[in-house]
Amino acid sequence: MYLSFLDGKKVLLYFSAHCSDQDEQSMFEYMKEENMPWFALPFGDKRGLNTKYNVTGIPTVILLNSNMERIEKCPLRGDIDGIKNCLLE
């Protein structure tokens, strides 16, 4: 998949789970409480991105180029700084 508006930009996929998320509303409430301002796939989405990008544990961050090709798997350091550092590298 090629998305021209992403030319020269990086895309970050953040795979996580929150055990109390029972529906989309609770998912978005959690995201708001935890100050997660990014876009999210609909609750229960079955696109298979975890398989496509070989996600073996949660949380996992995958960095993609504008062609949606994996650049690298970013290490999480227990907070949002790990994600920010991955984007800046």
**pLDDT tens figures, 36-72:** 777 787 877 777 888 888 888 877 778 888 788 887 7
pLDDT at residue 34 is higher than 70: yes
> Which of the two residues, 12 and 51, has the higher pLDDT score?
51
Distance CA 63, CA 67 (A): 11
With cut-offs at 50, 70 and 90, classify the pLDDT of residue 73: low
Q: How confident is the model over 59-86, as a mean pLDDT?
A: 72
pLDDT on residue 20? 63
Distance CA 6, CA 12 (A): 12
Distance CA 71, CA 88 (A): 13
pTM of full prediction above 0.85: no
